[in-house]
Structure 1
Amino acid sequence: MRSHHVSRVIKASPDVVYEYASDPGNLPRWAAGLARAEVVRDGDTLLVDSPMGKVEVRFVERNRFGVLDHDVTLPSGTVVTNSVRVLPHPDGAEVIFTVRQIELDDDEFARDIDMVAADLERLELRIHQRI
């Protein structure tokens, strides 16, 4: 299994970036690779209509370390753990997302990486609209 790290520097404080990105209600506004429509909450689980089909998402508890890790249960039942960090950066915050090649051929993996990069670009735009 291959992994690829996608990162984006956002000119905003890590706290601002984390607060926005960690709010499940904001997912459809920036994370099109995960959520195409409003997120439905079922306890700690989020039910999401994604490009992969209906998936379940569980985020780690909110924390002061900028960790936004989340498990995505695919329609096949496979659970993919996505590691995401919001780190301090001299220009604001850096968001790092690890993409793993699980149940994807090489072309699908490349598309997944491109989708994550587009999501992080949208995240930056949404945050700049808010500040």
Structure 2
Amino acid sequence: MTHPALHLSTPIDASPAEVIAFAGHPANLPAWAAGLSNGIREEAGRWITDSPMGEVEVRFGPHVDLGILDHDVLFPDGTVVHNPLRVLANDTGAEVVFTLFRLPGVDDAEFDRDAAMVRADLERLRSRLEGNAA
């Protein structure tokens, strides 16, 4: 079974290495990922944040150094949401691409809200790395 997917991207005027170093470190997620705006903490090698549903764990995959910033979000009920995120070379800068999967039960309005949130997160990341952060 596959899910419909939407690829959202933004160019960033910073090297891929700079983007990877910042976006690929879980401690920096609250600076650009709205869903983690309450902060994130490391506990026994796990990255934990508080959410309205309880403690949520964020796990990055093993290839962050290659620009594969895929991460899973583990919810208290056992649900795991996979978030593919890539950093690609784009001339002297980078292109950051997030793949948003439309999961079962997600209606058009919710999917549109999720896409808008990802776009805003990518814009915050771009602004932060280009020195335009508020």
In the superposition, relative to structure 1, how do residues 24 and 96 fare at CA in structure 2: closer, same or farther (>3 Å)? same
Deviation at 1:59, TM superposition (A): 0.5
Q: Aligned residues, how many?
A: 129
Give the TM-score, by structure 2 length.
Answer: 0.85
Query: Partner residue of 2:127?
Result: 125
The C-alpha deviation readout for 1:37-95, integer Å capped at 9, x for no partner, is 22121234211234766421110135432010111113442111111100000251000
Deviation, 1:2, is 1.7
- 1:40 and 1:71 mapped to 2: Cα distance? 16
Gaps of 5+ in 1: none
Q: Which among 8, 11, 14 is matched to residue 9 of structure 1?
A: 11
Identity %: 47
> What is the CA–CA distance in structure 1 between the aligned matches of 2:30 and 2:19, rounded to whole Å?
16
Which of structures 1 and 2 has the bigger CA Rg? 2
Aligned-residue Cα RMSD (Å) equals 2.0
TM norm structure 1: 0.87
Is the contact between residue 59 and residue 71 of structure 2 (CA under 8 Å) also seen in structure 1? yes
Structure 1 distance, partners of 2:114, 2:80, is 16
Instruction: Report the equivalent of 2:27.
Output: 25
* 1:56 alignment partner in structure 2: 57
For 1:36, the equivalent position in structure 2 comes to 37
Which deviates more, 99-108 or 111-120? Answer: 99-108
